[in-house]
A and B are shown apart, each in its own frame.
Chain A
Amino acid sequence: SQQGEEDPQALSIQEGENATMNCSYKTSINNLQWYRQNSGRGLVHLILIRSNEREKHSGRLRVTLDTSKKSSSLLITASRAADTASYFCATGLNNAGNMLTFGGGTRLMVKP
């Protein structure tokens, strides 16, 4: 079963716009990670945020974490056509050997 749920399931925007994806999870976590996947290929690690952090930035990416609401968001600013992909959040659970539990993903399409 999936720990997290992404919202929306699909998002279509124009190049240059910002894209925001949300992730909710159910149990307490050690960390939350965001991954990108292009067309059924491997997952690319984007960013990791630990449970004691509230916000992290990496280039055009901004991730927030609200442990009280058990939710996270990924913001991609000034999107590009190359950002078209599926985005997954994955939680690392406490005392779970660091296995990742993935959400269902958000399919992002950025139109040129």
Chain B
Amino acid sequence: KAGVTQTPRYLIKTRGQQVTLSCSPISGHRSVSWYQQTPGQGLQFLFEYFSETQRNKGNFPGRFSGRQFSNSRSEMNVSTLELGDSALYLCASRLAVSTDTQYFGPGTRLTVL
């Protein structure tokens, strides 16, 4: 099976812009989670989607949002970008909400100038 894929892999934006990142989970996986990784804060949970519904949300401002489609693909959006949003954004999928192991994609490296 193909692994988790994320697009784009690299992105450069300027402050104030918005960005949309995409994640395709492993085939058959219905749960998608998003994480932000920065040198200062480490890996932090953003949100999780299952069956097109947000099940859990981390401690991030409302500028960070996401959604999941009927084919389990997920997108996350960050509006009004700030310099501090520069990070590696990782997507992880798992078979179901009752499954513990999460499989991560390669990430999208976002740089905000």
Contacts and interface: CB of A to CB of B under 8 A. Distances in A.
Query: Are A and B interaction partners?
Result: yes
Interface of A: 2, 30-31, 33, 35, 40-45, 48, 50, 88, 90, 92, 96-105
Contacts of A104: 42
B102 A45 contact: yes
Interface residues of B, number: 28
**Interface SS majority for chain B:** strand
B43 to A, nearest CB: 4
A40 B104 contact: no
Interface string B48-63: 1000000110100000
A99 B58 contact: yes
Contacts, number: 63
A88 B43 CA distance: 9
Given A2-B42, A40-B88, A43-B90, A100 B102 contact: yes
A27 to B, nearest CB: 15
15 contacts: A30-B100, A33-B100, A40-B88, A40-B107, A43-B90, A44-B104, A45-B102, A48-B100, A96-B56, A97-B97, A98-B94, A99-B45, A100-B45, A101-B45, A104-B42
Nearest to B105: A42
Contacts of A40: 37, 88, 107, 109
B101 interface: yes
